[in-house]
Amino acid sequence: MEGWETSQGAHYVPPLPAPDMSIVDTVMRDEVLKADYRERAKTINKLNTEKPMLYAFITSKLSAESEDELKRHTSYKTIDDDKDPLELWKALEELHLVTRGTTPSHYSVKECRGCTSTIRE
């Protein structure tokens, strides 16, 4: 399920096709451009069709604790209603990643709580 997230954390949107100016015949150029637009529309439709499947896959991998935490997230109702895998992923990152300075570190909150309890002892 390629193409869901860009480096900016937004949904991928296929670029708009541009007319191929190397084709001299304007009728042919228009036909090629229409075909490119149809292909773009198919890609967008495929991404939208796969959205609930990817959402279901991610939620199926959650532990009971993660699922409970997610349900308490402020945006959970919207995320669940839209079945938006990208927003789900962002919420999970927000719940489970601990930031160090300016960059997130891939330590879960559960691991960090375990570390602090051993330090106290």
Q: Where are the domains of the chain?
A: 26-120
Query: What digits encode the pLDDT tens for the residues 60-76?
Result: 999 999 999 999 999 99
- Is-above-0.75 flag for pTM? no
Mean pLDDT over all residues of the chain? Answer: 82
User: Mean pLDDT across the stretch 36-40?
Assistant: 96
How many CA atoms, within 13 angstroms, populate the side-chain half-sphere of residue 82? Answer: 11
DSSP 13-72: -PPPP---TT---HHHHHHHHHHHHHHHHHHHHHHHHHHHHHHHHHHHT--HHHHHHHHT
User: Mean pLDDT across the stretch 50-69?
Assistant: 93
End-to-end alpha carbon distance in the chain: 46
- Structure-model confidence comparison of residues 116 and 55, the more confident one: 55
Does the pLDDT value for residue 1 go beyond 50? no
Strand partners, 105: 98
